[in-house]
Amino acid sequence: LLDYNMPDMNLPEMLKLLRSGYPDVKIILSSGFKKEEIMSRIGALDIDAFLKKPFNMQALVELIGSLA
């Protein structure tokens, strides 16, 4: 579960690092921005799902279950 805004490393760098070490890991991107806005900013970066903030634990559990 990654946030769109992270300290010390930007999203493309983090995705590249994760995919190089764990190519099959499922990546969920979370942000307070709308999904369409985020996707237009990041383009075709390799994420598996998007979760809009704020979210509750039930939404997170359901999303994780859908990725299994």
Handedness of CA 29, 6, 59, 67 (dihedral sign): positive
Query: Where does the pLDDT of residue 62 fall: very low under 50, low under 70, confident under 90, or very high at 90 and above?
Result: very high
Coil, helix or strand at residue 61: helix
Angstrom CA distances, 64 to 26, 31, 33, 35, stand at: 9, 16, 20, 17
pLDDT per position as a tens digit, 26-39: 999 999 988 888 87
pLDDT of residue 18: 92
Q: What is the pTM of this model?
A: 0.82
Tell me the pLDDT of the chain averaged across its residues: 89
pLDDT of residue 50: 92
pLDDT of residue 44: 64
Rounded CA separation 39/28 (Å): 13
Rounded CA separation 30/2 (Å): 6
